Amino acid sequence: MQRLIAGTQTFRQQIFRNKQDIYEQLAREGQRPHTLFITCADSRVSPEQLTQSGPGDIFVARNVGNLVPAYGQVIGGVSAVIEYAVMALEVSQIVICGHTHCGAMAGLLDLKSLNTMPTVESWLKHSEAALRIAQARTEGNQPPAIEMLIEENVLLQLGHLRTHASVAGRLAMGLLAVHGWVYDVGTGSVRMYDEARKSFFEVNPLEDHENAKEAAASLKS
């Protein structure tokens, strides 16, 4: 507890003081985040640090396995967060971010390890289809690689996300975009799903920026 209390003091004296005007404005005017970021509860994943977002920038939902129950399956926290973010806060994009070395996906591959955690086992049923897909894509009787399962899980949850009424409506209006990410805990890199390529590719902002400059130059020539 002393470690947490010391952290709050450091925050108050250093971080808050340096951005006090921003916090005061947020207190007066309320929040207007641009993104709903749904990710795992894993302590190694820090959405604000990963995206270098400031206070008020992103609305975050975390749970075991970064799961999104399909609309109507579970009336609970995740569904309420999605509806509130889309309808009340009017976020313009939603990111579902999985990560490497995910304990939830490891548990899904070895359900016997969850015998003493029935609530976790029940929750992970929202990812069962991802396991079946990964198994179908794996040759022989070998268990699927956890890396494949992590990606398939993100894609499955994107599919579930699109079934939510609030999301479907905003997507149809062109006012919302949804994205699938996988964060590599060991390297700090992020892979994003590309619908056109039907695969994940590593995000490289500098490289993308240079490619955009080259494309613009070629149009002018």
Q: What is the pLDDT of residues 173-202, one digit of tens each?
A: 999 999 999 999 999 999 999 999 999 999
Q: In terms of C-beta density within 10 A (0-12 exposed, 13-18 middle, 19 or more buried), how is residue 28 classed?
A: exposed
Q: What's the pTM?
A: 0.89
SS3 breakdown of the chain: % helix, strand, coil, rounded to 5? 50, 15, 30
* pLDDT computed for residue 205 by the predictor: 61
Confidence of residue 8 (pLDDT cuts 50, 70, 90): very high
Q: What kind of architecture, by CATH, is found in domain 33-188? A: 3-Layer(aba) Sandwich (3.40)
Q: What is the pLDDT of residues 67-114, one digit of tens each?
A: 999 998 777 889 999 999 999 999 999 999 999 999 999 999 999 999
Q: What is the pLDDT of residues 25-79, one digit of tens each?
A: 999 999 999 999 999 999 999 999 999 999 999 999 999 999 999 998 777 889 9
Q: Where in the chain is the domain with CATH 3.40.1050.10?
A: 33-188
- What separation in angstroms does the CA of 198 have from each of 15, 20, 152, 178, 192? 41, 44, 11, 15, 11
Query: Which one-letter DSSP state was computed for residue 89?
Result: S
